[in-house]
């Protein structure tokens, strides 16, 4: 069993491709004092990603690193690793990042790359998870924060939240209901890193008891 990290303030890097609402929820938790962390750098692979504007507005360093500017994926990811390292990020939170992560990147931040996925994993991995849930006719879906491994949405699960699927749901209404929960659990998963409460045993994340009860 491996303890992932000792307690203390967490330096976070964000890697995102789009709108950035999960980034904002994490940044809000830090501002409220619910999460003892600092967002050191936001990187997007898309020049026009809203997350870059949102980050800059909060005076967080932002960077666009485009895969097309590099000879291959490994070289591109080396640039990401270098940027996060020089910003002193110790954990990378994927927040709507639409690419798989390669070995070198995973090894550069052992157990410290996390992702949020809009389904109750291991169901409905990959793209359009909310549509997959609707098509399968499940009564509940939700979201999952997990440690990133080589697979697509296959890594050890840290936290999950469930929501009901209603008879009249479409992709948008279900996505919105799930997104509300995403915004509640992502920063809480990061807080477990800050508190040094995460252990990994093979494919499972164990969470040690909290010392004092809180929300």
- Catalytic residues, by residue number, are 117
- Minimum distance from CB of 50 to ligand GRF (Å)? 8
Q: Which is nearer to ligand GRF, 40 or 183 (CB)?
A: 183
Q: Which residues pair with 117 in a beta bridge?
A: 144
Binder to ligand GRF among 5, 40, 54, 117 (CB under 6 A)?
117
Which distant-in-sequence residues (6+ apart) come within 8 Å of 64 by Cβ?
43, 44, 45, 46, 47, 49, 52
Residue with nearest beta carbon to ligand GRF: 96
Measured from the Cβ of residue 8, the count of other Cβ atoms closer than 10 Å reads: 13
Interior/surface letters 41-53, b for 16+ CB within 10 angstroms, e for the rest: bbbbbeeebbbbe
- Minimum distance from CB of 98 to ligand GRF (Å)? 8
Q: Return d(Cα 113, Cα 97) in angstroms, integer.
A: 12
Binder to ligand GRF among 18, 61, 67, 196 (CB under 6 A)?
18
Q: In 42-162, which ranges are continuous DSSP H helix?
A: 50-57, 73-86, 103-108, 129-136
Q: Does 19 bind ligand GRF (CB under 6 A)?
A: yes
Q: Does 13 bind ligand GRF (CB under 6 A)?
A: no
Binder to ligand GRF among 12, 13, 15, 20 (CB under 6 A)?
20
Q: Does 142 bind ligand GRF (CB under 6 A)?
A: no
- Minimum distance from CB of 149 to ligand GRF (Å)? 16
Q: Which is nearer to ligand GRF, 104 or 171 (CB)?
A: 171
Measured from the Cβ of residue 166, the count of other Cβ atoms closer than 10 Å reads: 11
Q: Does 118 bind ligand GRF (CB under 6 A)?
A: yes
């Amino acid at each position: 069993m491996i303890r992932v990290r000792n307690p203390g303030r967490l330096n976070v890097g964000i890697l995102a491709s789009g709108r950035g609402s999960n980034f904002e929820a994490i940044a809000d938790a830090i501002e409220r004092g619910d999460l003892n962390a600092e967002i050191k750098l936001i990187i997007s692979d898309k020049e026009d990603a809203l997350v870059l504007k949102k980050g800059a507005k909060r005076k967080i360093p932002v960077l666009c690193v485009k895969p097309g500017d590099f000879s291959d994926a490994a070289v591109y990811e080396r640039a990401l690793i270098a940027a996060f390292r020089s910003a002193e990020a110790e954990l990378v939170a994927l927040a709507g990042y639409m690419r798989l992560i390669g070995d070198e990147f995973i090894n550069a931040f052992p157990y410290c790359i996390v992702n949020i996925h809009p389904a109750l994993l291991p169901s409905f991995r990959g793209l359009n998870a909310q549509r997959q849930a609707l098509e399968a006719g499940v009564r509940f879906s939700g979201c999952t924060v997990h440690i990133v491994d080589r697979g697509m949405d296959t890594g050890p699960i840290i936290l999950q939240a469930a929501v009901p699927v209603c008879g009249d749901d479409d992709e948008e209404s279900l996505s919105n209901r799930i997104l509300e929960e995403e915004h509640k659990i992502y920063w809480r998963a990061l807080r477990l890193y800050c508190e040094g409460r995460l252990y990994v045993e093979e494919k499972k994340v164990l969470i040690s008891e909290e010392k004092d009860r809180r929300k």
